[in-house]
Amino acid sequence: MTVRPIVIYGDPVLHNPTRPAEEPFSQYRELIDDMFETMEKAHGVGLAANQVGLDLRIFVYKCPDDEGHWHEGYFLNPTLETSEIPQTMPAVDGSDDEGCLSVPGEGFPTGRAHWAKVTGYDLDGNEVSAEGEGFLARCFQHEVGHLDGYVYLDVLIGRNKRAAKKAVKAHGWDHPGNTWTPGEVRDPFGHDDEPED
């Protein structure tokens, strides 16, 4: 397995809808293994294929629910169902905070539906689905959003949207070509891992 560079916000691959994965789905086994390895090294809970530069409708996840139970899996060509998405400002108490491996080191309150269900396919072409509430639902919405061509900054509202625009400009993420490789640079989210030599 290989840790792949993660594409940062300004790259067009993150801002355009991905193309469907093609059969045989087994051809993506190495990619999915690499995505799990990259996500784990980055201390993430989800990773979409376009975050590693490939415009494919695939994501992996290893994410806890609100009770602390971990859920792990992947989807090829996923579709998303959700409960109603709130139109009000998200909570400022930290419960609605969201981060993204393609927006390294930043986090902003983001309104999300409380429940979400993803349906897609596994590497053998079998239909699979998973659903969850709270944080797990947030993860599913975040990853399918990537595949639809949106980074979570694109769905922010009000002062959070303004703060995100300032952060993008300050970091110089307003153009293509920026990446970071987990394990090769200091963790931008402040985890204890030191960069490898």
Tens digit of each residue's pLDDT (9 = 90 or more) over 63-101? 999 999 999 999 999 999 999 988 777 777 767 889 999
- Output the six-digit token pair for 106: 């930043």
At residue 192 the predicted structure's pLDDT band, cuts being 50, 70 and 90, is low
- In this structure, which topology does domain 6-192 adopt according to CATH? Peptide Deformylase (3.90.45)
Domain borders along the chain are 6-192
pTM value?
0.92
As a whole number of angstroms, the distance between CA 27 and CA 24 comes to 6
Residues making up the binding site = 100, 142, 146
Instruction: Give the residue numbers annotated as catalytic, written as ranges.
Output: 143
- Residue 161, classified by CB atoms within 10 Å of its CB into exposed (0-12), middle (13-18) or buried (19+), is middle
Residues making up the binding site for Fe cation = 100, 142, 146
